[in-house]
Amino acid sequence: MPEAVILHKLCFYREGGSEKNMRAIRGMLAVSGEDIDLPPLTRAMNSLGLDDSWRTAQAESSHYMAAAVAES
């Protein structure tokens, strides 16, 4: 379940600020974005106070995908 992995990685990111976790989240969103159930994941992020980091990850993932499409 990618939602649980994303949630845990964002928690770790908040705790330690490791860019590795944020890169993994962006990659998961870029590759599996359509398969991820966003509404409950977003609610969980909001309830845990991760909403700012979550929005950042989503925005960076969208930017990454747009750049990849432009290069192809």
Kindly report the number of other CB atoms within 10 A of residue 5's CB atom: 14
Its pTM surpasses 0.85: no
Work out the burial of residue 64: count CB atoms within 10 Å of its CB; fewer than 13 is exposed, 13-18 middle, 19 or more buried.
Answer: middle
- Pairwise CA distance, residues 16 & 45, whole Å: 17
Number of domain units in the chain: 1
**Buried residues in 11-47 as b, exposed as e (16+ CB within 10 A):** ebbeeeeeeebbebbbebbeeeeeebeeeebbebbee
What's the confidence (pLDDT) of residue 35? 87
pLDDT in tens, 14-66: 888 788 888 899 888 888 878 899 999 999 999 999 999 899 888 888 765 55
Give the model confidence (pLDDT) of 7-21 as tens digits.
999 998 888 878 888
- Which structural domain, as residue segments, surrounds residue 63? 2-71
